Amino acid sequence: MDLEAIENQRRYPLTLQLAPMIDIFVLIIVFLLKSTIVADVSIVFPREMHPPMSKSREGLETFPEVVVTETELIVGIIHENIGLTDIDRMSEDKVVDLKAKVEAYVKSKDEAVRSQATHVNLITFRGNNYKNVFTAVKFLRRIGFQSVAFIAEGEGS
């Protein structure tokens, strides 16, 4: 068999088709842009409250805010003001009621942010008693919040 006698059936060289590739990349970019959540991170401190100082450079997450004063825990997202002295002697029925409020709050959120709905930012002032902060965090975990981020001022603030 003479190899030079066999004519090559393919006369057109292989080329790269750019139009379909551009279409696919545009779809990927649109998908990524639509799935991105952009939020303004700002914490409004109650009047006369100065948070603790921090040397950490970590960024601030956009979670709901919980305020711990000297006498009460203010959980604005479920519209509850709870006295810190009342937490230890709170009835189980009241705890179950607060858990239900937290679950209703989580269910009211979009699916995109629902996984972060059980996280809260805890705001307190510099001179607050450690026991008050510990009691508040323990109680927040008890009623269904999964994580508590502590808000503090940076060195340059």
Domain that holds residue 93: 65-150
Q: Euclidean distance between the first and final Cα of the chain, in Å?
A: 86
In a domain, 40, yes or no: no
In a domain, 107, yes or no: yes
In a domain, 95, yes or no: yes
- pLDDT of 113: 74
- Count the domains in the chain: 1
In a domain, 98, yes or no: yes
Name the strands in the sheet holding 119-123, side by side, starting at the edge strand that comes first in the sequence: 80-83, 72-75, 65-68, 119-123, 147-150
Predicted TM-score (pTM) above 0.75: no
Residue with tokens 């519209």: 79
Q: What is the pLDDT of residues 28-40, one digit of tens each?
A: 999 888 877 665 5
In a domain, 85, yes or no: yes
Q: b vs e for 129-153, b when ≥16 Cβ sit within 10 Å of the residue's Cβ? A: eeebbebbbebbeebbbeebbebbe
